Chain A
C-alpha cells in the first residue's frame, strides 16, 4: 500500500479556483483516456444502481410464480426468472470489466501525471538562480517533492476518480429511486439537507482541529529533531531532565489537539452511517404504511408493492453513501490544492536569465594566424562574438584575462557588501584574496562566474563584458574548487568525470594524478569504481577535497577559482592537497581565497579585503614593505582566514 503519512495540515489554498483549473490542465494531455474512464464509470455506477432496480421485477416475478404454484400445485416455468438473472449476470460482467479498465487507465494516467510533475519541477529547479536557494531551506524545497507531491498523488489516483463516481452514483440512484416510488424518494431527499448540514458541521470542525493538531505535531517534531541531533550536547551539559520536561509539554499538547481532531474525524463515519439507518427506518415505515393502506386500493397514488419497497431500501445506501464520501473528500481536495499551489509556486519562480550571446567555440588558426571556428575539438577555444549592427562575427581567443572595474555589489540592494572593487588578472597569473570572514572574498568569486549579477561597474573576460557571454559558456571556462566539497552518488570515476562528461578513463587517471588523489583512490576497495554515497560520507574531508581538485583538473579550464578548505585536515593530507592545488594552478589564471601563507606568498597579487573593500594590494614583498594589515597578519605568525 502507498504509505499514508501522518495527517497533513489542510493549509488553506490561496487561489482555489486558479489552482484547481491548473490542476485540471495537468490532465488535459490525457483527455481521451479520461473520457474513456468517465464512460467506464458511467457504466459501472449505472449498472450498480440498475442491478438493484432489477430486484423489483425479480421479486415481482417471484411473487407471481409463487402465487401460480400455490394455485396450481405445478412447478411453474422459470424462463422469466432465468432471463432476468442472466441479464443481471451479463450486466455485472460488463460493469466489472469497465471497473477494471477504469482503474487501470486512471492508474496509468495518475502515475504519468505525477511523473511529469516531478520532472517539470526538477527541470525548473535546476534552472533557478542561486539566489532562490539562498532564500529557501532545503527542507522547504524538499517537502514539495515529498509531502506536496503525495497530496497530488492522492488527488489524481483516488480523490478525483472517486468524486466522479460518487456524483454519477447519486444521479443514477436518484433516477431509479424516482422510477420506483416518487413518495419514498421525496422522503429521502427531504432528509438530505439535514445530513449535509451535519456532515458540513463535523467536517469543518474536524478540519480546524487537524490544523491545530498539525501545528502541535510540527512543534513536537521540530523539538525531537533538534534534541536528538544535539543529544550528545544534551548529555555533556546534563540537560536530560530539562529536555524531558520540555518534550513532555509538547507531547501533551499533541495529545490534547490530536484527541480533539481524531474525535471529530471519527464522528463522521458513525454519524453518517446511522443517519442513513434512520433514513432507512423512516423509509421502511412509510413504505409499510403505504403497502398496508394501499392494499385495498391498488389504484391509489399511495399504493406500493412489497417488491418495490425491497428494491428501494438498498437504493437508499446507493444514494446516501456517495454523499458522505463527497463530504469526506472535500478535505482531501483542499489538501491537494494547497499542495499543488506550493508545487506551482516553485514552477512559477523566474529562472536564471541569460541575455548573453557570446559563445565559446572550438577554434583553429588558419595559415595567416587568424582564428576560425572548428568542428572538432582542437584544444584551442575562442569566444564567438556576433555583432548585430553589421552582422559580422569576430573570434577572440580564450586566454583567461579577467578585469574587474569599479565593481559594486550587495546581496540585497540596501546593503552593499563590495565597494568599488577594481583588479585585473593577466593570463596565468595568480590572485589571492586575504581577509577575515565576511570581508567579501567568496562574494567576488561568485560575481566572476555570475552566480550573482553586479550592481555597478564591469567585469571583463578576455576583453568581453561577461554580461554578453552566455552563462553556461562562461562557467564552462571557469574551474571551481569550493570550500565545502560536494560529491554526488556514483563511483569515484563518475565524480571526477563530472568535470568533463566525455572524459576518457585515461584523462580521469591523469587528472587524479595531478590532484594527488590517484594514490588513495587505488587503495579504496574498488579503486576508481568505488561507490560514493551520501555526499561522499565514506571519504574523509581531505580525500573529498582531493577529488574536487581532480574534478576541476579534468575540466581543464583556463581560469580557476579556488576556495581553500579551512576545516581541520591533518597535516599530511594538507600537504597532499597543497601539492595537488599547485599542480592544478600551473599555467592558469587563478583566483584563490587563501587560508595558508604558502599559497599567498607566490601570488602575483594579493588583495587584502576588509568590509568589502580592498585595503591593500601588491605582491608579497610590496605588502611586507608597506607594513600594513598584511604585514601584521604575517609577522604575527597568524594564519590567514
Chain B
C-alpha cells in the first residue's frame, strides 16, 4: 500500500502517531463505561439506597463517574496534542522529502511533470494526506473500539435485543456506500466544471485588453454565465444525493429507538429488564450507529485522498536519470567544447533523433554564434554542454573530458547558461546576483552589471542594488530582467558562457554593448550566443547555422554569406530596407 509507504516518512514523529491512537483508546473506554455505570446506579443502587437511606454508594458511583470523565478529558486532550504533533511532523518530513527529490531531478524529470503539478503535489496533496493521517490516528482505532465495546455492552445489557442492530447496521452501511459512490463521480464532474470556470476568469484577466479593445464584454459575460450555470447544475446534481445522508441516518436511528422501546418495553413489563438498562441500551445503540457512520466517512476520505497519495508517490518514485559519477572530476581544464557523433532525442529514442550526428570543435575563448529557425534544436544542442540532458548517442567533451565524468556542480559552475525562459527570485537585486557567486564583493557585482548594461537602470531605482524584485522579478521590465540574468551568470566567472536567446527583449544598441563588454572582459571564456537577430551573431568568430537538428554550415560571416543559402536568406530578409 502506497499509504503505508508514505507513513515511513513520519520519522521521529512516529511515536506521536502511535501514542495518539493509544490515548484515544483510553478516552473511548472511559466514555463507554459511563452509560453502564448509569444503568447500575439507577437499576441497583437506587432501590438499595432508598431502603437504607444511605447515600454513600450513590456518592461513590458518582465520584467514580466524575473521575472517569476527567480522565477521559485528559486522554482526549492528549490525543489532540499527539495527533497535531504527529500529523504536522509527518507532513513536514513528507514535504521535505518531496522537495529534496525534486532538487535532484534532471531537466528531463522536470519536463515530465509540469511546474503547476509539482506545486500542487507539494502543497494540496501533502495537505490532503496530512488530514487523512490526522483523522486516521484519531478515529481509525477509536471508532472500531467504540463500536466493539458498544456491541459488548449492549449485549451485556440485553442480548435478545441485538437483532435490531443486525438489521439496522447493514442498511446504514449500504445506504452510505450507495450515496457516496453515486455522489463522488458527480463531485468530480463538478470540480472539472469549476476548474473550467476559473480558467475562463483567468483568461479574461490576462486578455482584458483584448476584450475591451474589441468591445466584447457582453460576449464574455454571456459565456461566463453559461459556464457558471453549468457549475451550479452539476453542483446541484451532486449535492442532491448527499443531502440524503441526514434523513437516512435519522430514519434508522429513530426506527431503532422505537423498536428498542417496544421490545425492551415488553421485557420490562415481563420483569426481565430494567428501565436504566433500556435507556443505556439505547445509548449504546446510537453509539454503534454513529461509529459505523464515522468509519464509512473515514473510508471515503481515505479513498478521496488516494489520488493525492498516488501523485506524491509518483514524484518520490521518479527515477533521476542524471547522477554524479563515481570518482568525479572536479576540475574543468579550459573552455574547449567537442561534440563527437552526437545524437539526441528527448525520449531517448535512437530512431527519432532531434539532433543527428553532430560533430564540432570549439576552442577555448572562441565566440560562436548559433542561428536557426524555430525547432532547429539550437537550445537542445547547447543544453548538452552543462549536461542538462545526457546525449543519446556519441559524446560531448568539455575541457577535453566527457561531461559525464565531471562532478555536476563543478561542471555547471564552469559552464554558465542564460536560459531563454529565465527567472529571477524574490529578494533584492543583490541577493539575486549572488546566485552566481555567493561571496561576490560589491565591486564584483557592480562590474558584472556594468558588463551586462544593467548598472545604469539599477542606479535609477531609489534603493539601487537593494531594490526588492518581487516574486518572479515582477518589478522590472523584460529587457531589464534579461540583463540581470546575464549579470548573474557573469558573476560565476565561468570558462564557458551560453546565451540562449538571452537578449531578445534588449534593444540592439544595448545588445551590442553587452557583446563588446564580453569580448573585452572575458577573453578566455568561450562564448556561445543563440539569437534570432543576425546582428547579434554577425561579429562572432564563427557562426553555426542549424536546421532541423543538423549543422548546415559553420564559418565566419563572410564565408557564410558566400556559401550558405539559409544564412543569406535570413540576412537579406532582416536587412531589408536598410540599404
Across the interface, which residues of A come within 8 angstroms of B212, CB to CB? 130, 449, 451, 475
Contact residues in B for A66 (Cβ distance below 8 Å):
268-271
Q: Which of A107-115, A322-330, A388-396 contacts B (4 or more CB under 8 A)?
A: A107-115
Question: Per a CB cutoff under 8 Å, which of A126, A230, A278 touches B66?
Answer: A278
Contacts of A76 in B (CB 8 A): 269
A489 within 8 A of B: yes
Residues facing B in A276-315 (CB within 8 A) are 277-278, 280-282, 284-285, 288-289, 291-292, 295, 306-307, 309-310, 313-314
* A122 neighbours in B (Cβ, 8 Å): 201, 204, 221, 224, 228
Among the interface residues A5, A111, A224, A534, which one has the most CB atoms of the partner chain B within 10 A?
A224
- Do A107 and B236 touch (CB < 8 A)? yes
Whether, in the assembled complex, B232 has its beta carbon less than 8 Å from a beta carbon of chain A, the answer is: yes
Cα–Cα, bound, A292→B50 (Å): 5
Question: Please, which residue of chain B has its CB at the minimum distance from the CB of A641?
Answer: B507
- List of B residues within 8 angstroms of A81 by Cβ: 262, 265
Give the interface segment out of A365-373, A377-385, A563-571.
A563-571
CB within 8 A of B209: which of A226, A261, A451, A637?
A451
Chain B residues within an 8 Å CB radius of A103: 243, 246-247
Give the interface centre of A226, A252, A280, A636 by most chain B CB atoms within 10 Å. Answer: A226
**Which residues from chain B contact A634 at a C-beta distance below 8 Å?**
578
Shortest Cβ gap from A230 to chain B (Å): 4
Contact A262 B76 (CB under 8 A): no
Would you call A625 an interface residue if the criterion is a C-beta within 8 Å of the partner chain's C-beta atoms?
Answer: no
B72 A277 Cβ-Cβ under 8 A = yes
Chain B residue with Cβ nearest A258: B88
A251 to B270 alpha-carbon distance, docked (Å): 66
Residue in contact with B122 in the complex, picked from A224, A229, A265, A313, CB distance below 8 Å? A224
- Closest approach, in angstroms, between the C-beta of A304 and any C-beta of chain B? 11
Q: Is B455 an interface residue (CB 8 A)?
A: no
Given A437-B479, A480-B213, A571-B373, output 15 extra A-B contacts at Cβ < 8 Å. A108-B236, A111-B239, A126-B204, A130-B209, A221-B123, A229-B472, A236-B419, A238-B408, A259-B89, A262-B134, A266-B79, A482-B209, A501-B219, A597-B578, A598-B576
- A536-551 contacts to B, CB under 8 A, are 540, 542, 551
Q: Is the CB of B84 within 8 A of A262?
A: yes
A282 pairs with B250, CB closer than 8 A: no
Complex-state Cα separation, A260 to B84, whole angstroms: 8
| CB atoms of A228 and B507 under 8 A apart | no
Q: Is B229 an interface residue (CB 8 A)?
A: yes
- Are A69 and B72 closer than 8 Å at their CB atoms? no
Stretch in B351-359, B439-447, B567-575 touching the partner? B567-575
Closest to A69 in B: B269
Contact A637 B88 (CB under 8 A): no
The one of B229, B257, B416 in contact with A115, judged by C-beta atoms closer than 8 angstroms, is: B229
- Residues from chain A with a CB closer than 8 A to the CB of B62 are 281-282, 284-285, 288
Query: Which residues 107-134 of B have a CB within 8 angstroms of A?
Result: 107, 110, 115, 118-119, 122-124, 127, 131, 134
Q: Does A233 contact B (CB under 8 A)?
A: yes
Say whether B69 faces chain A, with CB atoms less than 8 Å apart.
yes
Chain B CB within 8 A of A436 CB: yes
Tell me if B217 is interfacial: C-beta within 8 Å of chain A: yes
Bound CA span A122–B472, Å? 27
Residues of B contacting A262 in the complex (Cβ-Cβ under 8 angstroms): 80, 83-84, 87-88, 134
Q: Does A1 lie within 8 Å of B246, measured CB to CB?
A: no
Chain A hits for B310, CB < 8 A: none
Q: Decide if A376 is an interface residue (CB 8 Å cutoff).
A: no
With contacts A123-B221, A306-B275 taken as known, whether A115 is within 8 angstroms of B269 at the C-beta atoms is no
Q: Mark A603-633, 1 if CB is under 8 A from B, else 0.
A: 0000000000000000000000000000001
Asked if A499 lies at the interface with its beta carbon under 8 angstroms from chain B, I say yes
B96 an interface residue at 8 Å Cβ cutoff? yes
Docked complex Cα distance between A535 and B202 (Å) = 10
**A127:B72 contact, CB within 8 angstroms:** no
Tell me the bound Cα distance from A161 to B514 in angstroms.
67
Contact partner, B254, options A51, A133, A487, Cβ 8 Å: A51
Given contacts A228-B115, A637-B535, contact A130 B208 (CB under 8 A): yes
With CB as the reference atom, state the residue of chain B lying closest to A70: B271
Tell whether A571 pairs with B569 under 8 Å between CB atoms, given A243-B103, A636-B509, A641-B507: yes
* Complex interface bits, B396-438 against A, C-beta within 8 A gives 1, otherwise 0: 0000000000001100110011010111111000000001100
With A239-B435, A252-B92, A262-B83 as contacts: A107 and B239 at CB distance below 8 Å = yes
* Contact in complex: A570, B374 (CB < 8 Å): yes
Q: Which of these, B38, B215, B576, contacts A313 with CB under 8 Å?
A: B38
Going nearest first, the 9 A-B pairs with the smallest beta carbon separation are A270-B76, A266-B80, A486-B207, A274-B73, A262-B84, A230-B423, A285-B62, A103-B243, A570-B373
Report the nearest B residue to A309, measured CB to CB.
B42
Using CB atoms, name the residue of chain B closest to A599: B577
In the bound complex, CA of A410 to CA of B107 (Å): 44
Q: Secondary structure at chain B's binding surface: helix, strand, loop or mixed?
A: helix
Within 8 Å CB of A26, what residues of B?
A: none
Cα-based distance from A231 to B423 in the complex (angstroms): 9
Distance in angstroms between the alpha carbons of A639 and B88 in the assembled complex: 57
The answer to whether B573 and A571 have CB atoms under 8 Å apart is yes
* Chain B window 480-506, contacts with chain A (Cβ cutoff 8 Å), 1 for yes, 0 for no: 000000001000100000000100110
Nearest neighbor of A596 in chain B, beta-carbon distance: B577
Shortest CB-to-CB span from B275 to chain A, Å, is 6
Shortest C-beta distance, A286 to chain B (Å), equals 9
A196 at the binding interface (Cβ < 8 Å):
no
Chain A residues positioned under 8 Å from B69 (CB to CB): 274, 277-278, 281
Report yes or no: A572 in contact with B373, Cβ–Cβ below 8 A: yes
Q: Does B220 contact A (CB under 8 A)?
A: yes
- Does B279 lie at the interface of the complex (its beta carbon under 8 Å from any beta carbon of A)? yes
> B107: which of A65, A69, A235, A573 is its contact (CB, 8 Å)?
A235
Within 8 Å by CB of A278, from B70, B509, B535, lies B70
Interface hits, B134-193 → A, CB 8 Å: 134, 138, 183-184, 187, 191
For the complex, give the distance between the alpha carbons of A487 and B204 in Å.
10
Q: Judge whether A267 is part of the interface by a CB distance below 8 angstroms.
A: yes
Looking at A27-35, A55-63, A415-423, the stretch in contact with chain B turns out to be A55-63
In the bound complex, CA of A263 to CA of B419 (Å): 46
For chain A, what secondary structure do more than half of its interface residues adopt (helix, strand, loop), or is it mixed?
helix
Chain A 464-478, CB within 8 Å of chain B: the 1/0 string?
Answer: 000000001001101
B526-538 near A? 1/0 per residue, CB < 8 Å: 0000001101000
**Known contacts being A100-B244, A278-B66, is A6 close to B123, with CB within 8 Å?**
yes
Chain A stretch 84-129: residues in CB contact (< 8 A) with chain B: 85, 88-89, 92, 95-96, 99-100, 103-104, 107-108, 111-112, 114-115, 118-119, 122-123, 125-127
| Cβ of A183 under 8 Å from chain B | no
In the complex, are the beta carbons of B374 and A573 less than 8 A apart?
Answer: yes
Whether B250 lies near A62 (C-beta < 8 A) is no
Is there contact, CB below 8 Å, between B501 and A568? yes
Query: What are the residues of chain B within 8 A of A266 when measuring CB–CB?
Result: 79-81, 83-84, 138
Query: In whole angstroms, what is the CA distance A596 to B419 when docked?
Result: 25
Q: Are the C-beta atoms of B124 and A6 separated by less than 8 Å?
A: yes
Contacts of A501 in B (CB 8 A): 216, 219
Contact between B423 and A233 (Cβ–Cβ < 8 Å)? yes
A-B residue pairs in contact (CB < 8 Å), sample of 22: A1-B242, A107-B236, A130-B208, A222-B471, A235-B105, A235-B106, A236-B419, A244-B100, A251-B95, A259-B89, A266-B81, A281-B66, A285-B62, A288-B58, A291-B46, A295-B50, A535-B207, A568-B504, A570-B532, A571-B532, A637-B575, A639-B535
Given A6-B124, A263-B80, A573-B374, CB of A270 within 8 Å of CB of B27:
yes
Interface string of A230-249 (1 = CB under 8 A from B): 11111111111101100110
Asked if A138 and B269 sit within 8 Å, CB to CB, the answer is no
CA distance A407 to B210 in the complex (A): 24
* A438: interface (CB < 8 Å): yes
- In the bound complex, what is the Cα–Cα distance between A233 and B276 (angstroms)? 73
Instruction: Choose from B55, B221, B578 the contact partner of A126 (Cβ within 8 Å).
Output: B221
